[in-house]
Structure 1
Amino acid sequence: MARTTRMASGAKAAAAALPLGTHAADVRRRIEMMEHLLERSVPIPGTKAKVGLDAILGLVPVGGDLIAALLGLYIVWEARNLKMPATTMMRMVGNVGFDWLIGLVPVVGDAADFLFRSNTRNLRLIKRHLDRHHPGTATVHQR
């Protein structure tokens, strides 16, 4: 019988922590986890700054930015499931679209991925909606 490695057991724990329900609190957790993965999951050595998969994928010409935009659109899809207003969702699509377009410019786009965090902006819009319409989902974060 094969032994479980640390990496495999860590991946199982992360998958078990991912809520799969349609309740607003579950959606909030999934969106927060996706935003963390895309925007601030990898620390830059020697600094306090963090980048995510969005900036790393941006280093791959054209295709990387497209994949990062599709991952960002997942957050918009979850917002649709929360029945957010169409105007807010269009703003979210605009954030992802702007991030994708600026990412197509060599060198400038890589810096922009670090500075313009569209997924963080979209998360903020969703949290504002959830705090108004689903106050039971609000969480208190401790550092």
Structure 2
Amino acid sequence: MIDDIVRFLMHRFWAEVGEIAVFLVCGYALIAGTWRERFGGAIYLVAYVIPWVFAAISIRSVGLYFLAADVLLLPGFFTINRNSPQPWTRWALGSQVLSVALDIARLIYDSGRFDPFYIIVQAILGYVVLIALLTGTIAAHRLNHRKNVTTGGT
């Protein structure tokens, strides 16, 4: 019994840390990034909220909601990646492609039971996208700051 409570609290703790990370990274991208980082942060926030809104309306087919959110991110990350010299865009797009493939595989081979592998890999892929977005935003912010210092703030 105690083990179950501790496990639930630790899961809840890491879920909260993940939610905070999403909002902090996306917020920073919206404030300090170029159009690529701002667009990436905006679409990631929207895609992050979509499954939870639909799950609150109907608990049926939650996997489809996650698939829909992941698929909606693909054209956005493809647009950001197109002709981009920045490596973070390729990491974000690649992780998103893997995430969609995993969603599709889970829907095809769904056994109807809880699958910790799916949850863990999806979380890792989500963190890869967030880290890529954060890296791109930091680089863009530093470059913008350097330009302002060099040109005297104009």
- Could you tell me the TM-score, scaled by structure 1's length? 0.45
**Bigger fraction of residues in helix:** 2
The higher relative CO (CA closer than 8 Å, separation ≥ 6) is in: 2
